[in-house]
Amino acid sequence: MKLRSKINLYTSVLIIFLLVLINSSIYFTFNHFILKNELEKATFQALNIVREMEQTESSRTTQHVLRAYVPVDSMIRVVKQDGTSETATTAKQQEQLIDLPITFVGKERHQIVKNNEIVYAFVSIPIIWEPTGEVVEFQLTENLSSSVQILSTLKWVLIIITILAAIPVILSSRLLGNFITRPITNLIRTMNEIRDSDQYKRIDLPKTSNDELYQMGKTFNEMILQLEKNYEKQEAFVSNASHELKTPLTIIESYANLLKRRGKEREEIFDESVEAIHSEAIRMKELTQQLLLLAKNDTQWKVEITHIALDEVIKESVQSFRTTFQRNIILQIEQPIVVQSDLQKLKQLLYILMDNALKYSEGSIEVKVGNSKEYGWVEISDHGIGIPAEELSKIFDRFYRVDKARTRKSGGFGLGLPLAKEMANAINATLNVKSIEGQGTSVRIFLPVASSN
């Protein structure tokens, strides 16, 4: 069963059930109070007649009182202990009441009784019958057909009202079901169109609202937009990765063919080809490693946060770069600082940033270490080509390179800074890049200071 049909069915059944319950409560409440009122009225009349009878002096006078005070639609009679009637009097057009069974109750009783589908108010009061001095019962029986007729009319009115009210309830529940399921239907249709066409689409949101249906549609559109962006990034990533791998593979293939043709004949061609193939293999290995690192998420980094003497780590890294690349690196340390970070990831982050500084500058590199109240920081500055202001926001995009010809020559893939950004996020570090084209670039790493506890 569809959701719209369920809403229609459940809403209709629930509201109709409530209507039946309310109207039934109204009917039974009125039925109780009307019959109770009729019984109390009959009791009051019976007590008044009994008082009048007690003031009479003979049976003849008593018979006169009975005829004089008999209520409308009622019968009065005196019943002896042996179950026989001493006297009985009925109102006009109520002679059939005489045929009701005679019963000696033996105590005072007030109740609603039913005989042959006719409802009566029955009152029985024990009295002393003056003519004989024996105990008898004064009984008043009132025909409540008129009250029952009113209640019957009320019952049918409530039934008709319930039926008439059920019609708009069913229609309104159907409209409600359509209203609630319309956004869901649009959502399903849009998803089917996306599946069939392989194109990202969004559902139309007619107006701003705070209800859950609008929020669902808004969330779906935001999700589709994010999926579309991720898909575009994935396509660009695959395209760029393929392009980057294509070049070294082409070089390797060309030199391999050259080796096959002339490698055995000319030693210089052999040496050149082996050197080129080896160089491109190293480039491919480096590119593959960076791609694998970028493919990892936060849970795969396996970060181990410990207390690290930042000044000692920087000294070690700077000395390593000085020895390896034979470059002038100026180190300034304000004071010893202990930070919270992952030692290996921090060293790798420093390697990426210092390697970039060496690639894109010819002069000396400056490395400074300092701290603020909550953070320790490392700043790596060069005096190289710099980055144009309009390009600065894109440097963390994968495969993005400011000067593609120059970075190709220097061996970059456009993956270093994106990898540094991912790694910094993994170890709770923050990167701040400042650059002026033609003057140089500085990158500052902020690391949380270790607590004294």
CATH number at residue 402: 3.30.565.10
Range from 141-145, 209-213, 214-218, 359-363 that averages highest in pLDDT: 141-145
pLDDT number for residue 198? 75
291 and 316 fall within a common domain:
no
In a domain, 92, yes or no: yes
User: Picking from 29-38, 55-64, 236-245, 263-272, which range would have the lowest pLDDT averaged per residue?
Assistant: 55-64
285 and 409 fall within a common domain:
no
Residue that is last in its domain, among 295, 319, 348: 295
pLDDT number for residue 9? 84
Higher-pLDDT residue of 398 and 282 is 282
310 and 439 fall within a common domain:
yes
13 and 53 fall within a common domain:
yes
Cα–Cα separations (whole angstroms), residue 225 to 179, 193, 194, 221, 228: 26, 15, 13, 6, 5
Higher-pLDDT residue of 239 and 353 is 353
7 and 138 fall within a common domain:
yes
**Mean pLDDT value across residues 280-292:** 70
**Mean pLDDT value across residues 377-397:** 81
261 and 364 fall within a common domain:
no
117 and 224 fall within a common domain:
no
Q: How far apart are CA 363 and CA 382, in angstroms?
A: 7
Residue type, 139: Q
pLDDT over 70 percentage in the chain: 84
In a domain, 133, yes or no: yes
CATH code, domain carrying 241: 1.10.287.130
In a domain, 228, yes or no: yes
In a domain, 173, yes or no: no
What's the number of domains the chain is made of? 3
85 and 142 fall within a common domain:
yes
Q: How far apart are CA 333 and CA 317, in angstroms?
A: 13
Using 50, 70 and 90 to split pLDDT, how confident is the model at 286?
Answer: low
Over the stretch 390-433, which tens digit does the pLDDT of each residue have?
777 667 665 555 554 344 444 454 566 777 787 788 888 888 88
11 and 127 fall within a common domain:
yes
**Mean pLDDT value across residues 61-71:** 70
Residue 268 sits at the vertex; the CA angle it makes with 264 and 272, to the nearest 5 degrees, is 100
pLDDT number for residue 131? 65
Over the stretch 99-137, which tens digit does the pLDDT of each residue have?
888 888 888 889 998 888 889 899 998 888 776 778 888
308 and 267 fall within a common domain:
no
In a domain, 200, yes or no: no
28 and 52 fall within a common domain:
yes
CATH code, domain carrying 121: 3.30.450
97 and 42 fall within a common domain:
yes
In a domain, 89, yes or no: yes
**Mean pLDDT value across residues 295-321:** 77
In a domain, 196, yes or no: no
Higher-pLDDT residue of 359 and 34 is 34
In a domain, 50, yes or no: yes
Query: Which residue range forms the structural domain that includes residue 11?
Result: 3-152
Residue 368 has pLDDT above 80, yes or no: yes
